[in-house]
Each structure stands twice: as C-alpha cells, then as structure tokens.
Homo-oligomer: A and B are copies of this chain.
C-alpha cells in the first residue's frame, strides 16, 4: 500500500496555467494530464473543484470529463462540487457526477438536511463527503452557531449524518486551519475518513493535522492544490509539481509511522 494520504486538488484556472500550454487544443486538460503524469505516483486521490470547470461553460465540462478519464483507475476521484438540493433534485446531481461522469465521491453541503444528502448515499460504491467544519474564515458564521445544549452546528451535522451513512460511504470535510479542532472532531467520528483541505496555501500544518486526526487506518485524505499544481508557473511546472507531491508524501510517510504505526 502507498505510504501517502495526499489528494491533489485540480483547481485548474485558465489564467494560471503556463503560457506555453495556452495554444493546446484543450489547455486545461493538457495541464491536468501533465500534472497527473507527474504526481500520480505520490498521491492516492484527485479532487477537481468543479467551479473552475463550470466557469468555462460546456467546454469546461469536456475538459473535466477528459481529465477524469485520464486519472489512473487505482486513484480515488472526488468531485468537489458542494451540491445539495431537495430529494429528487439531489438525485439529478448524483446522476451528473456518479453516472454521467464516473466520480467515486462528491462533496455535499448539509444545509438542506437528510433528504438532500441521502439521495447521494443511495448510489452503490460511491462516497459522500459532507461539509462539516470548513477552512475558510466564514466557517465561523454558521458552523460555530451554538445550541442551548452547548454544541455547535458542525457537531450536529457530524452527529446526525452518521445515522444516514456509514464509515464506508460517508466522509467529512474538516478544515486544517485549526488543528486543535480536528482532535475534537475525531472524537465525534472516530472511524470516518476526513477530507482535509487547507494544508499548504491556506496555512494548515500537516504535522499537527496528522497527529490530531489520524486513526489506525489513517483516516485522513489531505488535499493540496495550489502548492502543488502551481509550484512553478513556467515550463517546468510538472517537474515542480512532482517534486512538491513527492516531498509532501515523504513527510506523510513519516507521520504514518509515527501516528498510525504503519
């Protein structure tokens, strides 16, 4: 088994890809392809943020589809889409990402409750990654809203949703900007995998996150996007991405020894 829990975020912005790729027929796919070639050995998952593709209209969806098909089969694929709507409509979103495209997992926003989340969970061998405590400043606005009994909204999301899914088909998004929080959240969901964004460009510390959040099964998938895919803005971008992915994974290998006993 690979000694890494790195997820590479394919948040590919047409304005940030190296100039020499812009004349390619599908510059976004060409960039992603080279990033995947360079990094797949050093990661276990890829996570395109759908907003970047959607902003390009129908051709963005074609780039996304091509990218998804190019990702090696042994890598876990996450549509970072943050969808969620009433029952029959969530089923349509699930079809978009699980059938029209063949992602393994999708991020889902919990605000609309059980019947907005469970339609995604009804798809066999697919995974819902529910927003719990995100890494952005605005996460404090509502996620930390506190009940009369003293627990926060994000705790309520984690508590309640565990009756909708299981440790196989339900993960949580837990931001890395506050590692102390991750230890608390781990107590609420001891066996669920966490997707942790915010290590790297957003400032979370990988060692802290790993120490606080890791289980004996690892239990973590740590995403890094900008720090890897934009490690260089020049022709050597793929080599720079590989270097950064390798460096991060070697660090992860240490933490797997140290905190999970692997």
Closest Cβ of chain B to A126, distance in Å, is 15
Closest to A117 in B: B138
A114 part of interface (Cβ distance < 8 Å): yes
- The answer to whether B145 and A153 touch across the interface, beta carbons within 8 angstroms, is yes
* Segment at the interface with B among A47-55, A188-196, A241-249: A47-55
With a cutoff of 8 Å between Cβ atoms, the chain B residues found around residue A30 in the complex are: none
List residues of chain B with CB within 8 A of the CB of A110: 111, 141-142
Given A58-B62, A82-B109, A90:B51 Cβ within 8 A: yes
Query: Which of A13, A136, A153, A160 is the most central at the interface, judged by chain B CB atoms within 10 Å of its CB?
Result: A136
Query: Which of A17-25, A91-99, A252-260 is the interface stretch?
Result: A91-99
A168 contacts the other chain (CB 8 A):
no
Give chain B nearest CB distance to A58 CB in angstroms.
4
Residue of B nearest to A198 (CB): B86
The distance from the CB of A106 to the nearest CB of chain B, in whole angstroms, is 12
Least CB distance from A16 to B in Å reads 11
23 contacts between A and B (CB under 8 A): A11-B89, A13-B92, A51-B92, A52-B89, A55-B93, A55-B96, A56-B100, A57-B65, A61-B61, A86-B134, A86-B138, A110-B111, A110-B142, A112-B136, A112-B138, A113-B136, A113-B143, A116-B138, A142-B156, A142-B160, A145-B156, A147-B147, A153-B153
